[in-house]
Amino acid sequence: MSIYAVINPVTGETLAEYPTISDDQLRDAIGGAAAAHARWAQSSTAEERAALVRRVGELHTERRQELAETIVREIGKPIEQALGEVDISAEIYGYYADIAVSLMADERLSVAARDRSAFVRRSSLGVLLGIMPWNYPYYQVARFAAPNLVIGNVILLKHAPQCPESAEAMARIFRDAGCPEHVYTNVFATNEQIEWVIADPRVQGVSLTGSERAGAAVAEIAGRNLKKVVLELGGSDPFIVLSTDDLGATVEAAVAARLENGGQACNAAKRFLVADDLYEPFVERFTAALVGVTAGDPSDPATALGPLSSTAAADRLEEQVRRAVDQGATLVTGGVRNGSYFSTTVLTGLTPDNDIYREELFGPVASVYRVGSEEEAVRLANDTPFGLGSYVFTTDAEQALRVADQLDAGMVFINAVGAESAELPFGGVKRSGFGRELGRFGADEFVNKKLILVGGRS
């Protein structure tokens, strides 16, 4: 069986298989991309590149239903969430089309010498390799491709093995939008092939979203070959509840933060740190709310929770929950596995000597902790190898900012969930990776910021 295949997680049926690219074809793809870069970066204007990217976004909207149904088949994402993913992807392409000209504008610098002037001129680096995950097949590609294409970089895109149909659908969109040949190329490559793609001197940078293990492997190869790399890896984001004037709304936000994409999101809230005086009522309401979310057919618009992405994903999560309980955690509810489906689950009583205390739980499993003070909440929030996002809920505005300043995280959301958008930078610290995507900060990752200094009053 090919490693690139569409396997319906609801039924386990293999719906389609795609052949991997040959070594010769892959070398040709790299060569084609390198040749295309000179034309794309130098013979097109920012306005022309923006027009292409805008059309890519429009085609996402025009093909919205088809694209959404594809990832329902591939990863079991509920159809309403799949439609939402297509929508935000279209917004990202539109956002970068809107700011393309200002993004590439010269940036004047203040110079101490009165007879000199200086500015920074942004330009592309060349061929970039994107290694994408399965959990957001369109959104992740948009975050990487949109800014880099308007800058003038060209893209080699390796998608996750379980997302070949959506990968081909996006490649078709770029072609239909008028993308020049080799400016965006989908490659069904193996991990072994990717090792020498990264090492190829024609490839100037790598962006990976995925696991810690994959990130470490890619960073090691990139570092050995002196390549710029951006990594967006795992997360075990804390959801800190210190005070509230509406516990029901806070619990509703907590459920939404945990169950987005079936809990299979790097920046989903996974650890719930609740002030002592709110702990009991929070656990009671939170558990009841999660129990009320039952899994169903992902193609049904009424379904809020579908299967996990694969039987392998369900195997991993089942093993983690069993191990957590064996090591002393309390299973408040859930822990039931049925094929690729996994019930909403709440764990309490986790201590630092429990493996799960420092592991990422990728699925609808929440761990809840009681904290006696703001200081304890911060210590517990930071006691993790990860540092992607975080959530702080409190009625005290000064406390919110004080806590935010102390959190070891790339993002802090105060009294809000689901607030990510195209203009806001996304990324983390510690073992959650480095670099940023989205916004102006994301667009500056794979850019030559060339200093140009002019001497003399003329």
Residues with active-site annotation:
232, 266
Beta carbons within 10 angstroms of residue 270's beta carbon? 26
Of 86, 91, 261, 263, the residue nearest 166 (C-alpha): 86
The dihedral built from the CA positions of residue 305, 309, 315 and 317, taken in this order, carries a sign that is negative
Q: What is the 3-state secondary structure (H, E, C) of 323-372?
A: HHHHCCCEEEECCCEECCEECCEEEECCCCCCHHHHCCCCCCEEEEEEEC
**Residue 364 one-letter amino acid:** P
Q: How far apart are CA 394 and CA 377, in angstroms?
A: 12
Q: How far apart are CA 183 and CA 188, in angstroms?
A: 16
CA 37 remoteness from chain centre: 26
The dihedral built from the CA positions of residue 174, 184, 145 and 1, taken in this order, carries a sign that is positive
CA 163 remoteness from chain centre: 15
- Structural contact between residues 139 and 89, judged by C-beta atoms closer than 8 angstroms: yes
**Residue 255 one-letter amino acid:** V
Q: How far apart are CA 301 and CA 77, in angstroms?
A: 11
Helical H segments across 186-342, by residue range: 191-199, 212-224, 247-259, 276-291, 311-326
| Burial status of residue 349 (CB atoms within 10 A of its CB: 0-12, 13-18, 19 or more) | middle
Q: How far apart are CA 156 and CA 48, in angstroms?
A: 20
Q: How far apart are CA 312 and CA 309, in angstroms?
A: 8
Q: How far apart are CA 111 and CA 457, in angstroms?
A: 13
Beta carbons within 10 angstroms of residue 451's beta carbon? 9
Residues 6 or more apart from 417 whose CB is under 8 A from it?
A: 253, 256, 257, 269, 391
Q: How far apart are CA 374 and CA 360, in angstroms?
A: 23
Q: How far apart are CA 308 and CA 324, in angstroms?
A: 19
